């Protein structure tokens, strides 16, 4: 059996409510900027939800030709843009010499919801012959991966994970394993989502998942009293994973090493987490074991922390069950307090934030932390970024359907 490859992050790309690139998003996260504001994508007159984490000052034609962009759903546009940034950041040239060894694995939780709504309205008003031939290739969730691979010319392992809110983290974890076992030298991976649509907002509101708070300063407040649901966000987070051998051969900059991945199922409920976060705790433990470390070796955890009443407390219990005494010194923050919840893209964004935390030895805060829930007895890094000596960071993603995915990152040492 061949020796497992070490896997490192050499490029990052992002579109988020905090910025239209990874650097701006991270800089604003460290500043505690609130990316949540009045929802403008749809008319909310008949909706109870009034806020969202939308992209700011974004025009797709600044990045993609108009004709080409019209043949992509918004989530695919986001993926292509973030992937280009990540590959450029990695200074990775993809050509005939290496194309077969560079893969793409980018997931989406709900895919082309906007495309579906538009086509359905056209079908009802104008009949089936007016539905676009691009409807299906724009709608399906694997098309982010498909379009990115075409755009980059990457011909290696190619797939798309769909595990609701765990999608981005599962995608990066699967790509990590592909490189680790030697099936590719590099993978462009993460998540993309464009969920701010009529049906998505209506559906998540009906399930009582979304906050109906109209105050942008208190609507998304993970781990605080009075939280009433998550705030929808949009964007993409994509990283370039590469074997250490490949990265060193190219002289690439290395942000962090990926060392652990855990994935479990609750087998409990379609939306509610298992009691005491049993499934999430098993995923964290699996990631620690995969990394070959103990809980006390982790200094920072980017929590799922969505600002739902049950979800936040369940995750806190899962963290305490996993970390034991070490949970008292662990820094835990929810960057969703600034971005909102990007569904399938959130794991990609939070993987980037975790890796950059290691690079900068600095942890982004949980903002709006002014009314702490007395049952949350962990350090959630309230309101202001903190300098932290980090050797290992963990990122949690817990999705509808009982999907739990966890990644562990390590400060790179040659």
- Annotation marks residue 368 as catalytic: no
Of 237, 250, 254, residue with least CA distance to 6: 254
What is the C-alpha separation between 112 and 73, in angstroms, rounded? 6
Closest CA to 36 of 59, 14, 18: 18
Selecting among 198, 220, 269, 304, the annotated active-site residue is 304
Phi then psi dihedrals of residue 56, to 5 deg? -110, 135
Q: Are 287 and 380 in contact (CB under 8 A)?
A: no
Cβ-based neighbour number of residue 140 at 10 Å: 18
Of the listed 120, 220, 269, 341, which one is catalytic? 341
Question: Is residue 242 within 8 Å of 356, Cβ to Cβ?
Answer: no
* 244-263 burial code (b ≥16 CB/10 A, e <16): bebbeebebebbbbbbbbbb
Q: What are the helix and strand counts (H, E) for the chain?
A: 13, 14
Q: Is 168 exposed, middle or buried (0-12, 13-18, 19+ CB in 10 A)?
A: buried
Q: Dihedral sign, CA of 153, 156, 161, 165?
A: negative
- Pairing verdict, β 300-302 and 392-399: parallel
CA distance 408 to 393: 6
Q: Following DSSP, what letter does each residue of 60-106 receive, concatenated? A: GGGTS-HHHHTTS-HHHHHHHHHHHHHHHHHT---STTTGGGEEEEE
Is 403 assigned a catalytic role? no
Q: Whole-angstrom Cα distance, residue 6 to residue 359?
A: 18
Q: Where are the alpha helices (DSSP H) in 91-166?
A: 113-126, 135-139, 143-152
Whether 220 is catalytic: no
Distances (CA, A) of 82 to 147, 190, 191, 296, 322: 12, 9, 10, 34, 33
Task: Report yes or no: 302 and 315 within 8 Å, Cβ to Cβ.
Answer: no
Catalytic residues: 165, 304, 341
């Amino acid at each position: 059996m061949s020796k497992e490859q070490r896997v490192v992050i050499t490029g990052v790309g992002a579109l988020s409510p905090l910025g239209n690139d990874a650097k701006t998003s991270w800089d604003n996260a460290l500043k505690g900027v609130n990316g949540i504001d009045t929802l403008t994508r749809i008319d909310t007159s008949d909706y109870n939800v009034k806020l969202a984490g939308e992209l700011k000052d974004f025009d797709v034609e600044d990045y993609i030709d108009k004709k080409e962009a019209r043949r992509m759903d918004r989530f695919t546009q986001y993926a292509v843009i973030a992937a280009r940034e990540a590959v450029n950041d990695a200074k990775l040239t993809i050509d005939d010499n290496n194309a077969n060894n560079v893969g793409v694995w980018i997931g989406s939780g709900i895919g082309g919801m906007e495309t579906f709504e538009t086509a359905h309205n056209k079908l009802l008003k104008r009949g089936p012959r007016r539905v676009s031939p691009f409807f299906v290739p724009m709608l399906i969730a694997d098309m982010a991966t498909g379009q990115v691979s075409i755009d980059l010319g990457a011909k290696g392992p190619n797939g798309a994970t769909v595990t609701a809110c765990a999608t981005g983290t599962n995608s990066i974890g699967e790509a990590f394993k592909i490189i680790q076992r030697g099936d590719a030298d590099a993978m462009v991976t993460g998540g993309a989502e464009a969920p701010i649509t009529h049906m998505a907002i209506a559906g998540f509101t009906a399930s009582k998942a979304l906050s109906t708070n109209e105050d942008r300063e208190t609507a998304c407040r993970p781990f605080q009293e009075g939280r009433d649901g998550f705030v929808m966000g949009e964007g993409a987070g994509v990283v370039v994973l590469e074997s250490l051998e490949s990265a060193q051969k190219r002289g690439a900059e290395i942000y962090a090493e990926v060392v652990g991945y855990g994935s479990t199922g609750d087998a409990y409920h379609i939306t509610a987490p298992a009691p005491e976060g049993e499934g999430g705790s098993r995923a964290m433990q699996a990631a620690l074991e995969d990394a070959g470390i103990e809980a006390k070796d982790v200094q920072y955890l980017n929590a799922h922390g969505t600002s739902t009443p049950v979800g936040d407390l369940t995750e806190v219990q899962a963290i305490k069950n996993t970390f034991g005494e070490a949970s008292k010194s662990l820094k835990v923050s929810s960057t969703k307090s600034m971005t909102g919840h990007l569904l399938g893209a959130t794991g990609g964004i939070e993987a980037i934030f975790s890796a950059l935390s290691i690079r900068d030895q600095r942890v982004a805060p949980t903002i709006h932390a002014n009314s702490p829930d007395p049952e949350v007895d962990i350090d959630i890094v309230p309101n202001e970024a903190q300098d932290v000596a980090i050797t290992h960071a963990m990122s949690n993603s817990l999705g509808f359907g009982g999907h739990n995915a966890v990644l562990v990152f390590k400060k790179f040492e040659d």
